[in-house]
Amino acid sequence: MKFKEYIQDYFVFSKKERLGVYVISVITMLVWALPYFFSEDENIENIFGVTYVQIDSAKQVLHVQQKNSLEYKYPKNQSGWKKSVVQSPNVAKGKLLLNINTVDSTALERLPAIGEKLSARIIKYRDRLGGFVSILQLKEVYGLSDSAFNTIRSFLYVEKTFQPQQLYINKDDYAALRKHPYATPMFIKMVLAYRKIHGKYNDIEALKKVEQVDVDLVNRLAPYLSFSD
């Protein structure tokens, strides 16, 4: 019994002693961790293992328009902001401009409000169309909200000389025409039936004269139609 009591005297702590141990442990952890939060290292990529693009995608940076450059700001601490200026190879009027018909999905993901899924959908829809002839066509991409469109439209442009992939209205069959998202089954059937009876179409006006054809649909398709043999 004396041995047990001897052990208890040295290894059993009172309530106050246990509380003191907890407080000292917390203070020790804070002293060890605080230098990491207040580091003066200039390279944020080395500290966190991320790039400016990843930070931008996570909306942890502010994108500031500045002539001839893109300026990224990220928090230094509660007292202010630290900034890094990244030169852009294609800047006009203070904005990075991307050609919507040549940009890849990785570059699209860098835009605000666009993630991996939306960028993939934009590329897929562009391929189905044969290219965008107007930025407004982006609104037709599934899942792209009006607010997201309004956010990214100023970063994108269509080259004035761009020529979209053509549909050969005088020789393409049903399967070839059906690949285009604007060409509905009913439209294609009427076009093919008229062509079989009356021969080739000379121009867009001849196509519009097909009985019961949707003229608005023809106008949307016009940039993608070729009347050559």
What residue segments make up the domains of the chain, in order of their start? 2-37, 44-86, 97-157, 167-226
- Architecture of the domain delimited by 97-157: Orthogonal Bundle (1.10)
For 176, the enclosing helix (H) or strand (E) is: helix 174-178
Give CA–CA dist 135/118, Å, rounded: 15
Spatial CA neighbour of 206 closest among 118, 198, 13: 198
96-135 tens-digit pLDDT: 789 999 999 999 999 988 999 999 999 999 999 999 999 9
Q: Could you tell me the two tokens for 49?
A: 């293992």
The amino acid at residue 160 is K
CATH class (in words) of the domain with range 167-226? mainly alpha
Tokens of 141: 């991409």
pLDDT digits (tens, 9 = 90+) for 12-26: 666 667 777 777 887
Q: Fold identical between 97-157 and 167-226?
A: yes
**Which pTM value belongs to this model?**
0.59
